Amino acid sequence: MTPRRKRMVLVLSAVAGVAIAATLGLKAFQENILYYYSPTQIASGEITFDDRRIRVGGLVVDGSVQREMGELGVVFDVTDELESVTVAYDGILPNLFREGQGIIAHGRFDDDGIFIADQILAKHDENYMAPEVKESLREAEWQRRQRELREQQEYSGPGEDY
């Protein structure tokens, strides 16, 4: 084998090795991505979940937390102030978990439409809220205001001026 041919084989082997490593790295990365969805996005039916893990976030609805005595299981609702999602979690909740608190739950939906969480994250101080939760609450507030304006316009009827 000539020196030129040896260099060519070495370069092609290196390129193939880098390509294989990059492919494996990207595949592993894609399997570990958890997409965030708000309760409104879930309720609209625009999303199909195919038994993959996702993140759901919002505020824990006041009065929705149900615990069984002697059990770690808890069921509660999470809202973005427009729609709600029922979340079931079997484990120790974070110390900062409470009603009205912003949380993010990681898990999957079961066949009954209940989100089965395997991890619950709560905000860590008074001023912090996860960016995804903050954005979904802002979007929900905008949609609520738009709906109120439409209802107000329908109620006032045609021909009336303010």
Annotated binding-site residue numbers for heme: 124, 128
Query: What is the 8-class DSSP label of residue 126?
Result: S
Q: What residue numbers does the annotated binding site cover? A: 124, 128
Give the phi and the psi of residue 23 in degrees, each rounded to 5.
-60, -45
Q: How far apart are CA 85 and CA 55, in angstroms?
A: 12
Residue type, 51: D
Nearest to 132 by CA among 61, 64, 80: 80
Q: Which two tokens stand for residue 115?
A: 């989100």
